[in-house]
Amino acid sequence: MKILIKKGRVIDPKNNIDEILDVYINGNIIEKIGKNIKEKGVEDFVIDATDHIVAPGFIDVHVHLREPGYEYKETIKTGTMAAAKGGFTSVVCMANTEPVNDNRSITEFIIKKAKLEGSCRVFPCGAITKGLKGEELSEIGDMFDAGIVAISDDGKSVKHSGVLRKALEYSKIFGIPVISHCEDTDLSHGFINEGVASVLSGLDTVPSIAEEIIVQRDIMIAKYVNANIHLTHISTAGSVDIIAREKRNYKYITCDTCPHYFSLTEDATLKFDTNTKVNPPLRSKKDIEAIKEGLKNGIIDIIATDHAPHDLPSKDMEFNLAASGISGLETALALSLTLFHEGVLTLGELVKKFTVNPARLLKLPYGDLSEGNAADVIVFNPYIEWIVDKNTFLSKGKNTPFDGWKLKGKNLLTIVDGKIVYRDGLI
């Protein structure tokens, strides 16, 4: 297939490109980027990207595809369809499936299934410990050989410091990051942030220190081992402060946050809408301001979705019993573009947090538009307004607190390995 994308504003942070250019795709390769490209044989595949942004396909370092074991919540097929719609050409799927991805056979199953049914690239994240129990290390070497790109017990923190130390030592051998879910469960026994909203609602709380104490601990262990540590879904001002301070003296720390942590405060939980129940919980206005500042000054490297789709029954119950999570792949771009509209980030800075930085973390050969690279390309418009309708989600998970919101910014075209996998009717 030959595709010519004409007259779009090409934003490629890795190559310092931000100008009106054409992009010519030949087969699965970006063959040429330049002005007024004229190629024969592409007449049926000319895309007019005037007034739109052409960017590298986004990379999501944190999603839950649920398969195997929870196919009633999501499948690799539906999850990657949602990813493609949202502008993601690569996703990293967490290990908390059933059975847990803690061995070669599950890793191989995920990779094989993704190749057969996926609309985008899928990179498995292996479990740090067997069964996510925090006791015995998983078969990390076997999983790495099978194709994992990171290890994480996401959903749980590795409580035993000695086990985490060993995991970090193994991560150095294989050159993959540890993705750390930061939560001290001895301090965290609730469902919403400890603050004004918890006083008003009476719901049990998750204090900010429950996250921050593990952020500090995990960084200290990583520094001792001299290993990479990636801290995921950072949600508090205190965590941002700790990471900022530690980054000054240790270069192997990275972190991400999610759109809901700069879009919603704890006040959203006062309606007892279980779609606002996430882990870590929605925090205070002060925390949101700190998250935005951390994104602006580069302390927070990556924006990830923590896409956590659920079936209706898992959310349709009392707040304290409902499952945690937001179906986030299809709203992430628009919510994140709010940072651009508010002047927090430039478009180039925003694209970098979805492309270059995730690719660097995972050592993936994607996230840029270099000639000769795989043709993973998206076209989006930061100004198109649309109303979120959960019923139009391609994900099985309709659990979103943003249903009915008017958002500004929409992905219009997604190309993975030279193939158009999503195209909006507006382009």
Are both 386 and 342 inside the same structural domain? Answer: no
Phi, psi of 180, rounded to the nearest 5 degrees: -100, 125
Is the pLDDT at 44 greater than 90? The verdict is no
Percentage of the chain lying above the pLDDT 90 cut:
97
Number of domains in the chain: 2
d(CA 258, CA 233): 6
Residue 110 lies in a domain: yes
Are both 98 and 242 inside the same structural domain? Answer: yes
The 10s digit of each residue's pLDDT in 258-295 is 999 999 999 999 999 999 999 999 999 999 999 999 99
Are both 21 and 100 inside the same structural domain? Answer: no
Residue 31 lies in a domain: yes
Are both 40 and 68 inside the same structural domain? Answer: no
Residue 368 lies in a domain: no
Is the pLDDT at 41 greater than 90? The verdict is no
Are both 64 and 46 inside the same structural domain? Answer: no
User: Where does 182-273 have alpha helices with state H?
Assistant: 196-201, 208-225, 237-247
pLDDT at position 237 is 98
pLDDT at position 334 is 98
273 given a catalytic annotation: no
User: Where does 226-331 have alpha helices with state H?
Assistant: 237-247, 285-296, 312-315
pLDDT at position 39 is 75
Is the pLDDT at 40 greater than 90? The verdict is no
Number of C-beta neighbours around residue 135 at 10 A: 12
In this prediction, residue 43 has a pLDDT band, given cuts at 50, 70 and 90, of low
Count the helices and strands in the chain (H runs, E runs): 12, 18
The 10s digit of each residue's pLDDT in 60-102 is 999 999 999 999 999 999 999 999 999 999 999 999 999 999 9
d(CA 313, CA 328): 18
Return the CATH number at 411: 2.30.40.10
The 10s digit of each residue's pLDDT in 357-394 is 999 999 999 999 999 999 999 999 999 999 999 999 99
d(CA 262, CA 266): 11
Number of C-beta neighbours around residue 81 at 10 A: 23
Are both 292 and 406 inside the same structural domain? Answer: no
Angle at Cα 234 formed by Cα 243 and Cα 314, nearest 5°?
A: 160
d(CA 319, CA 5): 47
| Ramachandran area for residue 160 (φ above 0: left; ψ -120 to 50: alpha; else beta) | beta
Task: Choose the final residue of a domain: 313, 339, 362.
Answer: 362
The 10s digit of each residue's pLDDT in 325-338 is 999 999 999 999 99
Residue 367 lies in a domain: no
pLDDT at position 247 is 98
pLDDT at position 46 is 93
The 10s digit of each residue's pLDDT in 107-142 is 999 999 999 999 999 999 999 999 999 999 999 999
d(CA 114, CA 101): 15
Cα distance between the two ends of the chain: 19
Are both 181 and 263 inside the same structural domain? Answer: yes
Mean pLDDT of the chain: 97
Are both 122 and 232 inside the same structural domain? Answer: yes
Are both 249 and 356 inside the same structural domain? Answer: yes
Are both 35 and 67 inside the same structural domain? Answer: no
The 10s digit of each residue's pLDDT in 163-218 is 999 999 999 999 999 999 999 999 998 999 999 999 999 999 999 999 999 999 99
Residue 208 lies in a domain: yes
DSSP tag of 259: G
**In three state form, how does the secondary structure of 287-301 look?**
HHHHHHHHHHCCCCC
Which residues, other chains included, contact 197 with Cβ-Cβ below 8 Å and sequence gap of 6+?
265, 266, 267, 269, 270
The 10s digit of each residue's pLDDT in 234-266 is 999 999 999 999 999 999 999 999 999 999 999
Q: Environment class of residue 303 by beta-carbon count within 10 Å: exposed (0-12), middle (13-18) or buried (19+)? A: buried
Task: Choose the final residue of a domain: 311, 334, 362.
Answer: 362
Are both 179 and 321 inside the same structural domain? Answer: yes
Are both 22 and 143 inside the same structural domain? Answer: no
* Cβ(255)–Cβ(230) below 8 Å: yes
| pTM for this model (two decimals) | 0.97
Catalytic, out of 306, 311, 389, 424: 306
H/E run at residue 354: helix 347-354
d(CA 406, CA 235): 24
Task: Choose the final residue of a domain: 331, 362, 393.
Answer: 362
Return the CATH number at 333: 3.20.20.140
d(CA 87, CA 148): 22
Q: Which domain holds residue 175?
A: 57-362
